[in-house]
Amino acid sequence: MNFTITRQNLHNGLAAVSASIPSKTTLPVLSNILFQAENGSVWMSGTDLDVAVRIKVPADVREDGSLTAPGKKLQEITKELLDQPVEVSTIGTQIELKSGKGHFKLNGLPADEFPSLPEVDFEGAWSVTGTDVNRLIHHTSFAVSNEESRPILNGVLWELRDGAMRMVSTNGHRLARMGVPAESGDTSSADFIVPPGALQQVQRLFKKDELLEVARSGNHLGFRAGTAEVYTRLIEGTYPNYEAVIPRDNDKVATVDKKALESAVRRMAVVASDQTHRIRLKFESNRLHLNVLTPDLGEGQDELEVGYEGEEIEIGFNANYLLEVLRYMPTDEVDIAFKAPERAVTIVPSGSENLDYLCLVMPLRLLD
């Protein structure tokens, strides 16, 4: 293998792929990036066996070939090189870099030791803009569970329908759901449970103005646009019926300034219990009273003006869950809908009927 590449192209390719390399692994080849030089360009690939990233970068290829080499070390070297062309070649299982008067050799491993990337057929793929898929990921993936005991909830449910797509995530205490229009391929509907790590790679690699192709083959999902490809293993199983927990009869609605509520909840959270993070919200006519009492720490009170005309009601919340949901609300005001102190509360952007976005927070039981 022998090719010449600009320092910037080499650096960009390595940076894109290195993020998929696991920080710790018992398989040395997973710390490496696979280089494949052919047809006037170089493919760089990295994987942790669950998520794989593949990038095509232009280069002057004089000799086709392939080899794996240490990804992080190559990235560190390339970052410090002067802005001059880099000649990359291989000697046996060593990769050699020459740039100006700089000369580096790193030990690699044969290409055939690198795991095979999933084969995904993009015939009849779904099409989605980078803007839409990034918005879906950004506004929902924060709510996934980190508990190993419920692996299904460790992923984001992605529903693809003819003319629409939706992402949902929950940890059982809070939930986020968002939908956008979409153009489907030959297959009109499908559901996937996607690891959030794969969605982070999609967010990172694909630009907002790009049109992504999304396709499934077996238990793998593939994304591609331009010169970048991402493949991920899907989480197997059936996602819980989230629609069943979203209340349809929350008839009390308060319209609240998002930043004012965030700020007040943060102040209350300082005095909340480290175990439960419980705070009290009491809604009454055009007023919201916030209260926290932690016997071994202290207490706090605050008050906000809100748009609310219903009967008085007091609800307990985990302050952290409430803050997370508010952080991802895209409007200056939010509508908080509730029915009773023990029933799930929904929070939606206020005055934005065209935006299909809903978050849910389960209340905490208040102790007198």
Q: Are strands 2-5 and 252-257 parallel, antiparallel or unpaired?
A: unpaired
Distance CA 232, CA 201 (A): 10
The answer on pLDDT for 206 being more than 70 is: yes
126-241 fold? DNA Polymerase III; Chain A, domain 2 (3.10.150)
2-113 and 246-361, same CATH topology = yes
The answer on pLDDT for 188 being more than 80 is: no
Crossing angle (nearest 10°) for helices 319-327 and 258-271: 150
Q: Return the bridge partners of 54, or none.
A: 45, 229
What value does the mean pLDDT take over residues 258-269?
Answer: 96
The answer on pLDDT for 263 being more than 60 is: yes
The answer on pLDDT for 368 being more than 60 is: no
The answer on pLDDT for 184 being more than 60 is: no
- 109 three-class SS: strand
Q: What residue ranges do the domains of the chain occupy?
A: 2-113, 126-241, 246-361
The answer on pLDDT for 366 being more than 90 is: no
What value does the mean pLDDT take over residues 149-160?
Answer: 93
Range of lowest pLDDT (21-30, 168-177, 236-245):
21-30
Q: What token pair was written down for 263?
A: 């700020």
CATH superfamily of 246-361: DNA Polymerase III, subunit A, domain 2 (3.10.150.10)
Distance CA 19, CA 198 (A): 11
pLDDT digits (tens, 9 = 90+) for 189-201: 889 999 999 999 9
What value does the mean pLDDT take over residues 43-64?
Answer: 95
pLDDT band at 62 (very low <50, low <70, confident <90, very high): very high
For the domain bounded by 2-113, which CATH number is listed? 3.10.150.10
Distance CA 137, CA 132 (A): 9
pLDDT digits (tens, 9 = 90+) for 295-337: 888 999 999 999 999 899 999 999 999 999 999 999 999 999 9
pLDDT digits (tens, 9 = 90+) for 207-222: 888 999 999 999 999 9
DSSP state of 302: E
Residue given tokens 């989605």 in the structure block: 128
Do 363 and 343 meet the contact criterion of CB atoms below 8 Å apart?
Answer: yes
